[in-house]
C-alpha cells in the first residue's frame, strides 16, 4: 500500500497517473474540501482530518503502508515534520514531492522577501496604502493581530467555515474577498485596482499556484510583492516534478501492490 498526503492542486494529476500503476492507495488531506476534489480517483481509504504523529502511525499500521509520499503544501512544514518522524519510527520509506519555486531566478526592486509574518509591520512601514493578503485563511487572523497600519484585504476560499473563522478573529467583512483561485492576470488586476492595492503578501506557491500571474499583475501595476520565504527542511528523498515522482513509484511497484 502507498500513502499520500495531498495538499496542493497537483494532487489530481498525481493520483491520475498513480492509478495507472495501482489503486492500493491511502490518501490523507487536512480538510473535507480537499477530500472532495479527489473522490473521482481509485483508492482504498480517504482521511479528511488533520493527523498528528500517532494518527499517521495508526494509518500506516492499519493499511500496511510501505511507502508514504508527502505532497503537502510547500508551507505546511509541521505536516512534513510529523510525517517524517512517523515514517522514521516505523521504518517506512518517505518521499517528498514539492513544486518548484517560481521566484528563484527572479529579481526585482518591487519583490521583498521576508522570513516570517512577524517582519510584515516593519516592511509595511514604508508602504502607504492598502495591502492584499493572499497567503490563506490560516494566517489571516495572525496578520490581523500584528496591528499593521495599512488596511489589509484578505483573499480566501469562499467556504462558510473560513468566513466565520475570519470574522471571529476580528476581521471586518469589507476586508474579505472570498473567491477560489488560482487566478489569471485579469482577475488579479481587477482586485488590485478595485481595492487600490499597493502591496501583495504572498507565499512562493509556484507556477501551479498562480504565482506567475500574481507577480505579472503586481509588476504591471508597479506595486510591491512581499514574499514569505518557504520553510527550510532538509529532505532525504526530494522530487520537484510529477514525472520524476511517478518514475520512483513505478520502480517500487512490487513494494506497494502487496
Report if residue 105 sits inside a domain.
Answer: no
209 has pLDDT over 70: no
Q: What is the predicted pLDDT for the residue at 66?
A: 95
- Give the structural domain span for 87: 2-100+232-256
pTM: 0.78
Are residues 23 and 117 both part of a single domain? no
pLDDT tens by residue, 241-255: 999 999 999 998 887
DSSP code per residue over the chain: -EEEEE-STTHHHHHHHHTTT---EEEE-SSHHHHHTTTTS--SEEE-S---HHHHHHHHHHHT--EEEEE--TT-HHHHHHHHHHHHHTT-EEEEE-PPPSSTT---TTEEEESSGGGHHHHHTT--SEEEE-S-HHHHHHHHHT--SS-EEEEE---HHHHHHHHHTT--GGGEEE--S---HHHHHHHHHHTTEEEEEEE--TGGGTHHHHHHHHHHTT-EEEEEPPP----SSEESSHHHHHHHHHHTHHHH--
> 28: domain CATH number?
3.40.50.720
pLDDT band at 125 (very low <50, low <70, confident <90, very high): very high
Are residues 43 and 124 both part of a single domain? no
Proportion of the chain above pLDDT 70, given as a percent:
98
Are residues 205 and 241 both part of a single domain? no
Report if residue 52 sits inside a domain.
Answer: yes
Are residues 118 and 207 both part of a single domain? yes
Are residues 198 and 157 both part of a single domain? yes
pLDDT tens by residue, 34-64: 888 898 999 999 999 999 999 999 999 999 9
Are residues 42 and 74 both part of a single domain? yes
Report if residue 158 sits inside a domain.
Answer: yes
120 has pLDDT over 70: yes
Cβ atoms of 131 and 124 within 8 Å: the answer is yes
Report if residue 223 sits inside a domain.
Answer: yes
Are residues 32 and 119 both part of a single domain? no
Task: Give me the number of domains the chain comprises.
Answer: 2
Q: What is the predicted pLDDT for the residue at 90?
A: 97
Are residues 239 and 211 both part of a single domain? no
Amino acid at each position: 500500500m502507498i500513502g499520500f498526503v495531498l495538499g496542493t492542486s497537483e494532487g489530481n494529476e498525481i493520483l491520475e497517473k498513480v492509478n495507472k500503476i495501482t489503486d492500493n492507495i491511502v490518501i490523507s488531506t487536512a480538510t473535507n474540501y480537499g477530500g472532495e476534489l479527489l473522490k473521482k480517483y481509485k483508492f482504498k481509504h480517504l482521511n479528511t482530518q488533520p493527523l498528528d504523529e500517532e494518527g499517521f502511525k495508526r494509518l500506516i499500521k492499519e493499511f500496511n503502508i510501505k511507502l508514504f509520499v508527502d505532497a503537502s503544501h510547500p508551507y505546511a512544514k509541521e505536516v512534513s515534520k510529523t510525517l517524517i518522524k512517523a515514517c522514521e519510527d516505523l521504518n517506512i520509506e518517505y518521499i517528498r514531492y514539492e513544486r518548484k519555486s517560481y521566484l528563484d531566478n527572479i529579481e526585482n526592486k518591487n519583490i521583498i522577501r521576508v522570513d516570517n509574518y512577524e517582519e510584515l509591520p516593519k516592511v509595511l512601514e514604508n508602504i502607504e496604502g492598502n495591502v492584499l493578503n493572499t497567503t490563506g485563511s490560516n494566517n489571516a487572523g495572525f496578520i490581523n493581530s500584528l496591528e499593521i497600519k495599512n488596511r489589509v484585504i484578505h483573499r480566501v476560499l469562499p467556504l462558510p467555515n473560513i468566513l466565520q473563522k475570519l470574522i471571529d478573529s476580528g476581521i471586518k467583512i469589507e476586508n474579505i474577498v472570498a473567491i477560489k483561485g488560482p487566478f489569471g492576470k485579469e482577475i488579479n488586476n481587477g482586485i488590485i485596482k478595485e481595492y487600490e492595492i499597493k502591496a501583495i503578501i504572498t507565499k512562493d506557491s509556484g507556477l501551479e499556484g498562480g504565482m506567475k500571474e500574481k507577480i505579472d499583475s503586481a509588476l504591471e501595476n508597479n506595486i510591491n510583492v512581499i514574499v514569505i520565504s518557504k520553510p527550510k527542511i532538509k529532505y532525504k528523498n526530494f522530487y520537484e516534478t510529477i514525472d520524476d515522482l511517478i518514475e520512483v513509484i513505478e520502480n517500487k511497484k512490487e513494494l506497494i501492490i502487496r
